[in-house]
Amino acid sequence: MTRPLTYGSYLRLPELLDLQSPRTGTHDELLFITIHQASELWIKLMLHELDEARRRIAADDLAPALKMMARVSRIQAQLIQSWEVLATMTPADYQRMRGGLGGSSGFQSDQYRRLEFVMGARDPRMVKVFDVEPELQDALRDELTRPSLYDEALRLLDRNGLPVPPERLERDWSTQLDPSPEVEAVWTQVYADTERWWDLYELAEKLVDLEYHFQIWRFGHLKTVERVIGFKRGTGGTAGVPYLAKVVEQRFFPELLNVRSSL
């Protein structure tokens, strides 16, 4: 006879709770592993939601997409809060376990990189980070062949009769384009007549929500790293805090932020 389904067997808790494997025997390593594993699970869910939101936008099914994007913003709030927990690790705590990390680093998170690609930050050079993991490289390259969430938003504007430049509708999706005054002008039309373009206006604000929370998440990462390791180089070879400071300045939807100045 088969065993009845229980809470633990449905969630596969024995396997899940066996995945935290500290290498150094220090007290705080379990905290470090738990925070990062939980973050990867939240990112997995964000990708699940944004993939479907992108598909819905492409199919002119906007209402469910807006709900999914709102959910992602709530997930981002959970990730932001997680830095508060990790920040309880002191520099002395971290130094006792840092040797066990080797060259591993959050810089090597393929899910995080794919999340950036889905949102619209496209830097094909980032694929090279995964040279020793060709299956991950293939998945990232595949993502670069698809329109991003923002690309699909612009294509939706075009289908609604707004004058999106043709070069933003069909192009090499792997490239990162500079902010476009023409695209900014289109968003200005939406914001200038919200009653007429309410659904598109709401889409714009959901995108801004995603960027807002993403940047706070990045800033929380920066300040946590600064608090715990100061200005040492990161374990993955990055410059550490200076690198993270540059990342905080990167924007996903520049036209949507610029439009606020032109209204």
pLDDT per residue as tens, the chain (263 positions): 688 999 999 999 999 999 999 999 999 999 999 999 999 999 999 999 999 999 999 999 999 999 999 999 999 999 999 999 999 999 999 999 999 999 898 889 999 999 999 999 999 999 999 999 999 999 999 999 999 999 999 999 999 999 999 999 999 999 988 999 999 999 999 999 999 999 999 999 999 999 999 999 999 999 999 999 888 777 766 767 888 888 888 899 999 999 998 88
Establish whether 32 is an annotated binding residue.
yes
| Domain extents in the chain | 29-85+107-260
Q: What is the CATH number of domain 29-85+107-260?
A: 1.20.58.480
Establish whether 224 is an annotated binding residue.
no
Establish whether 35 is an annotated binding residue.
yes
Write down the pTM of the prediction. Answer: 0.93
Establish whether 216 is an annotated binding residue.
no
Contact 244/218 with Cβ under 8 angstroms? yes
Distance between CA atoms of residues 239 and 149, nearest Å: 30
Establish whether 27 is an annotated binding residue.
no
Establish whether 33 is an annotated binding residue.
yes
Contact 254/179 with Cβ under 8 angstroms? yes
Query: What ranges make up the beta strands (E) of 163-214?
Result: none
Distance between CA atoms of residues 128 and 137, nearest Å: 8
Contact 256/211 with Cβ under 8 angstroms? yes
Chain-centroid distance of CA 254 in Å reads 16
The shares of helix, strand and coil residues in the chain, as percent rounded to the nearest 5, are 70, 0, 30
Establish whether 34 is an annotated binding residue.
yes
Establish whether 107 is an annotated binding residue.
no
From 159, 190, 158, select the one nearest 255 (Cα to Cα).
190
pLDDT of residue 12: 97
Establish whether 212 is an annotated binding residue.
no
Distance between CA atoms of residues 36 and 139, nearest Å: 21
pLDDT of residue 240: 78
Distance between CA atoms of residues 71 and 206, nearest Å: 10
Distance between CA atoms of residues 95 and 67, nearest Å: 42
Distance between CA atoms of residues 98 and 24, nearest Å: 9
Distance between CA atoms of residues 92 and 21, nearest Å: 21
Contact 96/24 with Cβ under 8 angstroms? yes
Distance between CA atoms of residues 243 and 241, nearest Å: 5
End-to-end CA distance of the chain: 68
